[in-house]
């Protein structure tokens, strides 16, 4: 094997797995789509899941218009929990009894780094959904999960 050299190149990481990308996205959901900047963990997972595909964003927009979730299941992504832990450690989010809340430092972060502009591709989604996906809507689906177990 002499004479062979290997060059180490950094492996690219898809944006969805980059901590700052996920933290920024979750802070934006708290700010733009959550009453009082608060959300449960399961609701944050719902938004994260929806924002992974155009079809899912359309489903959530339809749900917002109909004031009822139009699907019964969504994925849970461990990168959401990882991002939340880092956001809390850096003072961008606060753990509350019902879930999580954006902190004043989190709001400053969104403004300082113009995060909304960075997620310009999702602008229509954020404007269409606003704060129309309530915790009650999410809880109704989650109750069905419990009854099916």
Tokens representing 23 are 């933290």
pLDDT along the chain (149 residues), means of 10: 65 76 97 98 98 96 96 94 97 98 98 96 96 96 79
Distance CA 25, CA 98 (A): 20
- Residue 2 confidence (pLDDT): 58
Strands 93-96 and 99-102: antiparallel
- Give pTM, 2 decimals: 0.88
């Amino acid at each position: 094997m002499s004479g062979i050299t290997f060059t180490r190149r950094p492996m690219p990481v898809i944006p969805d797995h980059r901590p700052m990308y996920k933290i920024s996205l979750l802070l934006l959901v708290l700010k733009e789509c959550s009453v009082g900047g608060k959300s449960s963990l399961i609701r944050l997972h719902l938004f994260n899941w929806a924002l992974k595909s155009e079809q899912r964003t359309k489903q959530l927009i339809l749900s917002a218009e109909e004031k009822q979730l139009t699907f019964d299941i969504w994925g849970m992504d461990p990168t959401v929990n990882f991002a939340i832990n880092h956001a809390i450690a850096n003072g961008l989010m606060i753990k509350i009894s019902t879930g999580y809340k954006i902190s004043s430092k989190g709001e400053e972060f969104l403004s300082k780094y113009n995060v909304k502009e960075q997620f310009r591709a999702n602008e229509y989604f954020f404007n269409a959904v606003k704060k129309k996906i309530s915790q009650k809507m999410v809880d109704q689906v989650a109750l069905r999960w419990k009854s099916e177990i």
